[in-house]
Structure 1
Amino acid sequence: MKITRQRHKGFLRYQLQQYGVGYLFILPWAIGFCMLIAIPLGWSLFMSFNKVVPSQGGFKYNFIGLQNFKDAFVKDNVFPIQLIEYVQEMLIMIPVIVIFSLLVSLLLNQSFPGRFLFRAVFFLPVIFATGQVLTELFSQNAGKIPFLDQYDLEPVIRSYVGQEFAKPILSVLNKTIIVLWYSGVQILIYIAGYQTIPKSVYEAIRIDGASPWDSFWKITLPAMVPFISLNALYTIVDLFTFPLNPVLEHVKNNMFKPDTGYGYATALAWIYFAIIFVLLALVLWMFNRSTKRRGDGR
């Protein structure tokens, strides 16, 4: 027993020596996370199972179980429709942004005069396109490119993809400018990823007679898989917290209605969060699986 305790103490002492400094660095973040994020999240989850009624000196909580979650899909005629339409739209826009930023980053990674200025141009919308700026631009119809009306593409799209899929596709095309505004961070992440690939690898494959097209598929793209997954995760979080998100607007409106209130609004928010969490988990699973396959192939 004494030997076991001594080994346990020695192991704890070794762990503290190895990782103690790291634990001290993350301690302020852990305290802030518990106080500013974990506690409010737990409180909102508690409210989602209650009917929250304002009263003198605070709020009155009446436990109703899963009733708020049932009402979101049974009684609410707006939330399910907005949720499905917005998720469909984002499932189209997320790969468009990830692929567009990958292609642009390939161009911006080349050596040409003024490369720094072009990189800055693509990153500037990240700085200026805040929530209030986007709201004002879209209220003035300045956030979309009117090529659908100019070339009369809407009937063509509806005839080829059908009525069910035409609406999210048209909505994405009407927000083409968002693809430009929301690609700046992804482009920088890709450019940083290119720097992790040794130049000697490209020199070796060039000596073997491979074309630039072959080097992209054999070297660049496999090396960029972790960065593609990172950009996919970032884009999901970024777009699902979009300032003009109709689902978040519906949640905010229900917070101040007397017949719904904070309890029902938090239930809607948790349903929305669950869908985002499932998408994030699915992206992580897909890229982890592809990484393992690549490792087994080697």
Structure 2
Amino acid sequence: MNGNVSREAVLPVESLHRKEHARHNRIRKLKLALEGYLFLLPWLIGTAVFMLYPLGNSLYMSFTKVSVATDGSGLQYDFIGWDNFKYAFIYDNEFPVDMFLFVREMFLTVPITVIFALLIAIMLNQQFRGRMFFRTLFFLPVIFATGQVLTALFDQGQAKLPFADQYHIADMLYEVLPVNIAEVLVELIGKFVIILWFSGIQIILFLAAFQTIPASVYEAARIDGVTPWESFWKITFPSTVPFLFLNLVYTLVDQTASPFNPILKFISTNMADPETGFGYASALGWLYSVIILIPIVLVLLAAKLQNKGRR
């Protein structure tokens, strides 16, 4: 009986200790969480002030006609519903055409930029003298390629291949190919140097992907008599597919913020136009964002499906 009494007396004490320990754990976790939120606080404030508020304000302005108040009190907002969006597709003669041309160019330049970066990364991954120098050389445009520098080069005609005009390649393409295909290729040749300048980050990412493949895998493949061509398609390429999708998303986003983007220039022009103003420019910005998000979401979905297939 004494044993039962002592056991019954000990149980509440153990329960009290467990509760006290759990309370201390909760307090410790709360302190750690507060420390984390304090570190995040500058970012949260910056995101709210410089990103979320402007986004919400531009969304509101896209449904209004913004004009300067006659009494000098500032901007006046007149709610007009979906009129700005309707005007962009029904009455505006420039935006749909510019948007179509930009999307067409994007679907051409994005895969070419990624493929070019993959080929250059394969070459830079080989063992040869001066490899680090050439890696640095291909990354230098990322450091120096500001919008002003690229615009100046483009205006001076330095974006074209030097021999394109010398050998009249454009004329030859128009002679042997349909006009639509020739126009795309001529435009691509005219921006080849720009594509080269926009491929530095992608090259670095592909090089990082190659470093994740163990050298023993290639050694075992060589022992089994696998050719370099088979080694690329059976070992290298499957291992770099996640980085391929990453580069596609990065290149898509990079193209949308390019200084040569005609849509951004068109939106900026409408911001200063007293007839359209901030309201119509905001509507164009949201339309542009939604259209650009479509291919990005498709690439992310394809990456997710590919990742599930590998599992």
* TM, length-normalised to structure 1: 0.88
Tell me the residue number matched to 1:30.
44
The Cα shift of 1:284 comes to 0.8
Tell me the residue number matched to 1:62.
78
Range moving further from structure 2, 217-226 or 21-30: 21-30
Among 128, 150, 154, the alignment partner of 1:134 is 150
Tell me the residue number matched to 1:91.
107
Report SS of the residue matched to 2:77. Answer: strand
One-letter amino acid matched to 2:282: T
Tell me the residue number matched to 2:10.
none
Range moving further from structure 2, 60-69 or 14-23: 14-23
Asked whether the 8 Å contact 1:97–1:179 carries over to 2, the reply is yes
| Structure 1 residues 18 and 229: alpha-carbon distance in aligned structure 2, compared to 1, 3 A threshold | farther
C-alpha separation in 2, matches of 1:15 and 1:264: 52
Tell me the residue number matched to 1:197.
213
C-alpha separation in 2, matches of 1:41 and 1:177: 34
Tell me the residue number matched to 2:64.
50
The Cα shift of 1:186 comes to 0.6
C-alpha separation in 2, matches of 1:164 and 1:138: 23
User: Cα RMSD between the aligned structures?
Assistant: 2.4
Asked whether the 8 Å contact 1:85–1:168 carries over to 2, the reply is no
C-alpha separation in 1, matches of 2:26 and 2:175: 69
Among 186, 192, 208, the alignment partner of 2:202 is 186
Tell me the residue number matched to 1:3.
none
| Structure 1 residues 199 and 269: alpha-carbon distance in aligned structure 2, compared to 1, 3 A threshold | same
The Cα shift of 1:71 comes to 0.5
Report SS of the residue matched to 2:59. Answer: helix
Report SS of the residue matched to 1:53. Answer: strand
Range moving further from structure 2, 198-207 or 234-243: 198-207
Tell me the residue number matched to 1:278.
294
C-alpha separation in 2, matches of 1:172 and 1:141: 14
Q: How many residues align?
A: 287
Tell me the residue number matched to 2:265.
249
C-alpha separation in 1, matches of 2:163 and 2:123: 25
Among 167, 177, 190, the alignment partner of 1:151 is 167
Asked whether the 8 Å contact 1:92–1:169 carries over to 2, the reply is no
One-letter amino acid matched to 1:293: G
The Cα shift of 1:25 comes to 4.7
C-alpha separation in 2, matches of 1:136 and 1:83: 24
The Cα shift of 1:155 comes to 4.5
Report SS of the residue matched to 2:187. Answer: helix
Tell me the residue number matched to 2:276.
260
Among 73, 91, 97, the alignment partner of 1:81 is 97
The Cα shift of 1:19 comes to 8.2
One-letter amino acid matched to 2:109: M
One-letter amino acid matched to 1:74: I
C-alpha separation in 1, matches of 2:90 and 2:162: 38
The Cα shift of 1:163 comes to 3.2
C-alpha separation in 2, matches of 1:131 and 1:137: 10
The Cα shift of 1:92 comes to 0.3
The Cα shift of 1:151 comes to 3.3
The Cα shift of 1:24 comes to 5.4
Identity level (%): 48
The Cα shift of 1:57 comes to 2.5
Where structure 1 has 5 or more consecutive residues not aligned to the other structure, the ranges are 1-5
Tell me the residue number matched to 2:127.
111
| Structure 1 residues 177 and 294: alpha-carbon distance in aligned structure 2, compared to 1, 3 A threshold | same
Report SS of the residue matched to 1:224. Answer: helix
Tell me the residue number matched to 1:294.
310
Is 1:219 aligned to residue 235 of structure 2?
Answer: yes
C-alpha separation in 2, matches of 1:16 and 1:160: 71
| Structure 1 residues 133 and 63: alpha-carbon distance in aligned structure 2, compared to 1, 3 A threshold | same
C-alpha separation in 2, matches of 1:291 and 1:23: 32
Asked whether the 8 Å contact 1:123–1:184 carries over to 2, the reply is yes
Report SS of the residue matched to 2:266. Answer: helix
| Structure 1 residues 24 and 172: alpha-carbon distance in aligned structure 2, compared to 1, 3 A threshold | farther
1:256-291 Cα deviation digits (max 9, x unpaired): 111100000111111111111111101111222222
The Cα shift of 1:247 comes to 1.0
* TM, length-normalised to structure 2: 0.85
Tell me the residue number matched to 2:252.
236
